[in-house]
Structure formats: structure tokens, C-alpha cells
């Protein structure tokens, strides 16, 4: 997976608005960071759970896109769940997505979001549907 390409296709999307940046990739995994700032915080100054879920879906959907044939297939998130187990109020969080099921029509990813010290903030699961592009 080409990190520069992944960051370029995210321009002018929710990912770029939330300042999500892809930072690493391997055969069945992907990492990305997101700042904890006024764009991603709830009104009380802590990381918004919805921003964490957006990060998880972004990284998992991008991973599925990279594992599919983008000329013939489209990826859609069909299920996202998360357990928020700690808070963050400044700095950056890092998401690490690992594929746990790679079927012909669905991919399932486990996404762990940690703070700068490596403490787990959220544990998420994302399922994507891989569909044939319409002509």
C-alpha cells in the first residue's frame, strides 16, 4: 500500500477535515494518526467518540479499498462498533487496523486507537462490503 497515494485520495474528504494522516502499511494492516483538537473534540474538551469511529471506519475502509480492485470494485462500510475505554484531550491518537476476515464480499477489521503514550483509547470493529462497480 502506497502511503502517499492513500493520503492523496483522502484530500477534500471527511478524513482530511479531521486531519487523518496515513502513516504506515503492511500486507494486512494499516496505521493512521488524527489530532485531538477543536475539530475532533466534544464540547467538554475530550476526544469525541464519533471522531474515533470516523477514524476507525476511514482506516478500515481505506484498507479494504487497497486490498480490492478499485477499477472494478467499490467498498462500503456496513457496520462500525467501538468501545471507548479511555479519554484523550490533547495531542494525537493513532489507529492500527488489522484485517481479521478477508472474504470475496466482506472484510472485517479490528482497529485499536491509542494515545501518544500507547494507552488504548478505543477498540473498534469495522465490516466493509465489497461490491462490483456499476457501469
Say which of 27, 38, 57, 116 is annotated catalytic: 57
- Residue 57 known to be catalytic: yes
Cα–Cα distance measured from residue 117 to residue 97, given in angstroms and rounded to the nearest whole number: 18
Contact 114, 120 (CB under 8 A): yes
Q: Is the dihedral of CA 77, 112, 64, 19 positive or negative?
A: positive
CA 103, CA 73: separation in Å to the nearest integer? 13
Contact 39, 13 (CB under 8 A): no
Q: What are phi and psi of 61, to 5 degrees?
A: -65, -40
Catalytic residue positions, numbered = 57
Amino acid at each position: 500500500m502506497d502511503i502517499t497515494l492513500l493520503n492523496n485520495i483522502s484530500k477534500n474528504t471527511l478524513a482530511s477535515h479531521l486531519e487523518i494522516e496515513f502513516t504506515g502499511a503492511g500486507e494486512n494492516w494499516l496505521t493512521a494518526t488524527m489530532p485531538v483538537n477543536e475539530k475532533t473534540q466534544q464540547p467538554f474538551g475530550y476526544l469525541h467518540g464519533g471522531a474515533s469511529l470516523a477514524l476507525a471506519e476511514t482506516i478500515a475502509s481505506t484498507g479494504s479499498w487497497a486490498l480490492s480492485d478499485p477499477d472494478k470494485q467499490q467498498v462500503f462500510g456496513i457496520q462500525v462498533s467501538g468501545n471507548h475505554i479511555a479519554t484523550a484531550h490533547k495531542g494525537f491518537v493513532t489507529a492500527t487496523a488489522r484485517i481479521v476476515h478477508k472474504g470475496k464480499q466482506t472484510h472485517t477489521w479490528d482497529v485499536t486507537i491509542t494515545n501518544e503514550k500507547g494507552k488504548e483509547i478505543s477498540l473498534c470493529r469495522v465490516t466493509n462490503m465489497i461490491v462490483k462497480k456499476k457501469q
